[in-house]
Chains A and B, each alone.
Chain A
Amino acid sequence: ETGVTQTPRHLVMGMTNKKSLKCEQHLGHNAMYWYKQSAKKPLELMFVYNFKEQTENNSVPSRFSPECPNSSHLFLHLHTLQPEDSALYLCASSQEPGTAPTNYGYTFGSGTRLTVV
């Protein structure tokens, strides 16, 4: 248990389905992140939230919709996905920007393995 919990661990969905990924942290962190990890590709940062506000969206298609209702929870809503969206989706959290360097670094969840059929 890393302190960041992601559910579900595995998800299979059709291209017309709507589903959501959930991430929860109780580490007192104020920043949360969604990453996509595809086979043979580097980690891709998708979204960044600081104090519940989205501060970064790296040109992610609108079929991915993040939601951060509070500093402890982060969702990724999925709809009309494509087969190329199949990947491991990782959530991470960290202390807020400007914190002491000793607090830098992310805590990752175990990920959700998404398969789009």
Chain B
Amino acid sequence: AQSVTQPDIHITVSEGASLELRCNYSYGATPYLFWYVQSPGQGLQLLLKYFSGDTLVQGIKGFEAEFKRSQSSFNLRKPSVHWSDAAEYFCAVVRGGGYNKLIFGAGTRLAVHP
């Protein structure tokens, strides 16, 4: 069965520092992968998604993610974090069979120090 693991529950970075949030997936075929962000008390907003082609995907708000099949990973990165990036980040994979069913990771909460 498909699954998504986000190893880091909490991460704290300083404003202006680089960021990498880890995501590992378990899926037999080429997965469809997503990163969502959730600000406090809000719904989830799509940051970026990967289906095929270039393994480096650009998203909104200056985020990017790289698909690495050999490592079953889809890590999210940002070169310089802003205080407004403090939020919870969710990685997700589409369940197979041509069915648009997302399986979410447990999330990583990001805190940004000034």
Q: Which residues of B contact A113 (CB under 8 A)?
A: 41
- Contacts A2-B43, A90-B43 given; indicate if A104 touches B100 (C-beta within 8 A): yes
Q: Determine whether A105 belongs to the interface, using a CB cutoff of 8 Å to chain B.
A: yes
- Contacts A42-B107, A105-B49 given; indicate if A96 touches B41 (C-beta within 8 A): no
Q: How many residues of A contact B (CB 8 A)?
A: 28
Q: Determine whether A71 belongs to the interface, using a CB cutoff of 8 Å to chain B.
A: no
Interface size class of B (residues with CB under 8 A): 20 to 34
| CB under 8 Å from chain B, chain A span 26-66 | 31, 42-43, 48
Interface residues of B (CB under 8 A from A): 32, 34, 36, 41-46, 49, 51-52, 90, 94, 98-102, 104-107
Interface residues of A (CB under 8 A from B): 2, 4, 6, 31, 42-43, 48, 88, 90, 92, 94-99, 101-111, 113
